[in-house]
């Protein structure tokens, strides 16, 4: 049986940083990923990474902006730690080899981002995620560790209240395999593909979050789902907030800049939940465009000039030209909000520890929580690196003292018995059909604006889909690279997580950050200044609540 001191699942920025930290602590580390590490979705991040390094800026301002952006649901102690780590983290990535864009004086260039009082988003053109991913992979690549590539995580094995390892599906061999380990770090990213319109990659199916939930870890704040205001129409490809940071304007069908109605002070640079709701409101009140691919508004960059658009927003030019046939130098870009980020995830503290000894999580799969009810642009890349490192350090320390894992060969048989049944059925449900229906359900009943009746219907529909999934059938009988099987595995994971989103959203009778209830339009600090915690039971998620960590900042009304 395979065995490692520390197993890191997911090889995006959080997973790679965790692996590096555990290797530096002297542990034998395995990295398990469904993609080659350089193909991770971290590489799709465009705009930048926040660090208050400007002379006019301060760590305290970054902390305050993040607390306010979170609509006071972020844990202030965790946010303070996070923002203090920002400067050293960016410097470290530069030393690893990341190629950042530079200011004329040779320092790291910075641009303004939504919800930030000063320009503090450090960037590499509009491919910051790719630049960081390359830099970190180059650094990690010179270390010794074992890479299990194109392995899909299916289970975290936990017994007697601790972790013994993981089970995964090796796509190339077409076999399930187990790796014994007393310390597992989940850095598997989000489950954005729960929604029909998402900026996320196809691989973002929440495998790690679902495996943790199954193993007894708690999920936190799952109802908080961020919709990015500017996704390219039809394909939902992300158009970075950096486009507005560089001076891009949002206009409705009458050619009117409309953000003054919703965020009179900063307009286009309000935080994402505010801008997304503004766009949907414009459309709902008849001031948007309508086309064969649905409603949209315009994002204009033309006034910035060809040179600025083509140098600072090089990838955006390519995306618009190749995927929408639009040249942003001369034409407005058609955009509409799409699912973009999950503030919720596996509940952890600042060291990446979950409630299950030996299980750690970091990056978008985790919820510390620093983003609270709404994440600020530029904070997620930072989160992957800061808490990736912390979880790697904690996992390495745990592995050094924990009793040896007790993974048994029967664990593999037990865990994979349902998957074998999927393939032996002669009749049953098609995983792709179930996935599409789930995506439409979540889009319709748990989208940007929510209400009690919709969410109740959403719960009913998701549970009906879960029941149908019990009879899922894998048609493809061959082994090598069986995507029909991985489709089913992913759909099962997402259906489980979709339920935690709708149930959490139904219970939370207030509006806070990205969670907007039309029947409860106000934030309700007296009743709801608390984190939702979901535990898995056979009857569905069992919800409880934990307090928000406070230090210095009293909640006030959030105005941009």
Partner 1 sequence: MANDTISVPLDVYRFDPLHDAQPRYQRYTLDLAPHTPVLTALLKIRAEVDPTLRLRYSCRSAICGSCSMQINSKSRLACETHVGPEVELHGRVVVEPMRNQPVVRDLVVDQAPFWKQYDRMEPHLKLDPAKPMPEGRPNPMTEAQVERFHDTPRCIACAACFSACPAVEADPEFPGPMALAKLYRFVVDPRDNGTQDRLVRIQTEGLWLCLRCHLCTDSCPKNVRPAERIRDLKEMAIRVQGATERGSRHAVGFKDNIRSTGTLNELKLARQTSGFAGFVGQLGQGIRIWRKKPEITKRPHPVQGAEELEKIYEALDKPGDRR
Nearest to 309 by CA among 338, 332, 276: 332
Q: What angle do CA 249, 196, 132 make, to 5 degrees?
A: 60
Measured from the CB of residue 482, what is the shortest distance to partner 1 in angstroms?
Answer: 8
Whichever of 103 and 559 has its CB closer to partner 1, that residue is 103
Q: What angle do CA 418, 419, 424 make, to 5 degrees?
A: 95
Taking CA atoms, 198 is separated from 190, 295, 354, in Å, by 11, 16, 27
DSSP β-bridge partners for residue 161 = none
CA dihedral 388, 393, 397, 398 (to 10 degrees): -10
Nearest to 45 by CA among 230, 236, 196, 241: 241
Whichever of 314 and 518 has its CB closer to partner 1, that residue is 314
Nearest to 329 by CA among 437, 243, 237: 243
Whichever of 288 and 405 has its CB closer to partner 1, that residue is 288
Whichever of 190 and 372 has its CB closer to partner 1, that residue is 190
Taking CA atoms, 389 is separated from 25, 54, 85, 132, 309, in Å, by 11, 24, 11, 14, 35
CA dihedral 100, 192, 147, 158 (to 10 degrees): 130
The Cβ of residue 81 has, within 10 Å, a number of other Cβ atoms equal to: 18
User: How many helices (H) does the chain have, and how many strands (E)?
Assistant: 15, 24
Whichever of 116 and 334 has its CB closer to partner 1, that residue is 334
Measured from the CB of residue 96, what is the shortest distance to partner 1 in angstroms?
Answer: 7
Out of 27, 127, 193, 228, the active site residue is 228
d(C-alpha 238, C-alpha 354), whole Å: 31
Measured from the CB of residue 521, what is the shortest distance to partner 1 in angstroms?
Answer: 35
d(C-alpha 85, C-alpha 219), whole Å: 25
- CA 208 to centroid of chain Cα atoms: 12
Measured from the CB of residue 351, what is the shortest distance to partner 1 in angstroms?
Answer: 23
Measured from the CB of residue 433, what is the shortest distance to partner 1 in angstroms?
Answer: 8
Whichever of 322 and 552 has its CB closer to partner 1, that residue is 322
Measured from the CB of residue 419, what is the shortest distance to partner 1 in angstroms?
Answer: 16
Q: Which residues contact 104 (CB under 8 A, 6 or more apart)?
A: none
The Cβ of residue 238 has, within 10 Å, a number of other Cβ atoms equal to: 25
Out of 17, 193, 244, 435, the active site residue is 244
244 annotated active-site: yes
Whichever of 235 and 546 has its CB closer to partner 1, that residue is 235
Taking CA atoms, 474 is separated from 33, 211, 428, 469, 482, in Å, by 22, 20, 8, 11, 9
Secondary structure letter of residue 34 according to DSSP? S
Whichever of 138 and 256 has its CB closer to partner 1, that residue is 138
Measured from the CB of residue 288, what is the shortest distance to partner 1 in angstroms?
Answer: 16
Tokens of 423: 């393939």
Total count of residues recorded for the chain:
560
Binding site for partner 1 (CB under 8 A): 35-36, 38-41, 43-44, 88, 90-91, 94-97, 99-102, 104-108, 124, 127, 130-131, 134, 138-139, 141-142, 172, 201-203, 233-235, 237-238, 291-293, 314-315, 318-319, 322-325, 430, 432-433, 436, 475-476, 478, 480-481, 483-484, 487
450 annotated active-site: no
Q: Which residues contact 417 (CB under 8 A, 6 or more apart)?
A: none
Measured from the CB of residue 194, what is the shortest distance to partner 1 in angstroms?
Answer: 16
- CA 552 to centroid of chain Cα atoms: 27
Tokens of 377: 């642009």
Whichever of 142 and 265 has its CB closer to partner 1, that residue is 142
Measured from the CB of residue 138, what is the shortest distance to partner 1 in angstroms?
Answer: 4
Query: Is the torsion defined by CA of 217, 430, 487, 225 positive or negative?
Result: negative
Tokens of 271: 């935080």
Tokens of 486: 């991985």
DSSP β-bridge partners for residue 10 = none
Residue positions annotated with a catalytic role: 228, 244
């Amino acid at each position: 049986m395979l065995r490692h001191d520390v197993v890191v699942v997911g090889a995006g920025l959080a997973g790679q940083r965790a692996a590096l930290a555990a290797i530096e602590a002297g542990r034998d580390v395995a990295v398990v990923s469904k993609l080659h590490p350089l193909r991770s979705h971290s590489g799709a991040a465009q705009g930048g990474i926040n660090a208050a390094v400007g002379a006019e800026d301060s760590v305290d301002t970054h902390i305050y902006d993040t607390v306010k952006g979170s609509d006071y649901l972020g844990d202030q102690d965790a946010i303070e730690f996070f923002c203090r780590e920002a400067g050293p983290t960016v410097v470290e990535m530069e030393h690893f080899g990341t190629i950042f864009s530079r200011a004329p004086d040779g320092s790291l260039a910075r641009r303004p981002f939504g919800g930030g009082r000063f320009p503090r988003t450090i960037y590499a053109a509009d491919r910051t995620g790719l630049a960081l991913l390359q830099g970190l992979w180059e650094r990690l690549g010179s270390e010794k560790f074992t890479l299990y590539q194109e392995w899909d995580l299916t289970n975290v094995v936990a017994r007697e209240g601790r972790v013994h390892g993981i089970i995964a599906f090796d796509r190339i061999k077409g076999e399930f395999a187990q790796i014994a380990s007393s310390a597992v770090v989940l850095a598997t990213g989000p489950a954005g593909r729960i929604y029909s319109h998402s900026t996320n990659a196809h691989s973002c199916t929440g495998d790690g979050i679902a495996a943790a939930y199954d193993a007894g870890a708690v999920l936190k704040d799952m109802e908080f789902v961020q919709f990015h205001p500017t996704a390219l129409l039809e394909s939902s490809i992300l158009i970075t907030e950096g486009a507005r940071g560089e001076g891009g304007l949002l206009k409705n069908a009458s050619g009117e800049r409309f953000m003054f109605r919703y965020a009179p002070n900063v307009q286009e640079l309000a935080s994402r939940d505010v801008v997304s709701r503004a766009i949907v409101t414009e459309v709902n009140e008849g001031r948007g465009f309508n086309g064969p691919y649905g409603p949209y508004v315009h994002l204009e960059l033309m006034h910035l000039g060809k040179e600025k658009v083509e140098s600072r927003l090089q990838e955006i030019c390519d995306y618009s030209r190749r995927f929408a046939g639009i040249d942003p130098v001369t034409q407005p870009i058609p955009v509409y909000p799409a699912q973009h980020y999950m503030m919720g995830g596996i509940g952890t503290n600042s060291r990446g520890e979950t409630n299950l000894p030996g299980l750690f999580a970091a990056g978008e799969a985790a919820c510390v929580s620093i983003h609270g009810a709404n994440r600020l642009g530029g904070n997620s890349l930072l989160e992957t690196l800061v808490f990736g490192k912390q979880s790697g350090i904690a996992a390495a320390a745990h592995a050094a003292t924990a009793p040896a894992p007790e993974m048994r060969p029967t664990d593999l048989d037990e865990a994979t018995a349902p998957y074998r049944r999927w393939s032996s059925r002669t009749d049953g449900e098609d995983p792709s059909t179930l996935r599409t229906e789930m995506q439409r359900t979540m889009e319709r009943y748990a989208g940007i604006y929510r209400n009690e009746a919709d969410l109740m219907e959403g719960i009913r529909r998701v549970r009906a889909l879960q029941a149908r999934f019990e009879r899922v059938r894998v048609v493809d009988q061959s082994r090598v690279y069986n995507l029909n099987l991985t489709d089913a595995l992913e759909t099962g994971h997402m259906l489980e997580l979709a339920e935690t989103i709708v149930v959490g959203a139904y219970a939370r009778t207030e509006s806070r950050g990205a969670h907007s209830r039309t029947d409860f339009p106000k934030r309700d600090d007296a009743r709801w200044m608390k984190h939702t915690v979901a535990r898995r039971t056979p009857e569905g998620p069992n919800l409880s609540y934990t307090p928000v960590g406070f230090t210095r900042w009293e909640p006030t009304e959030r105005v941009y």
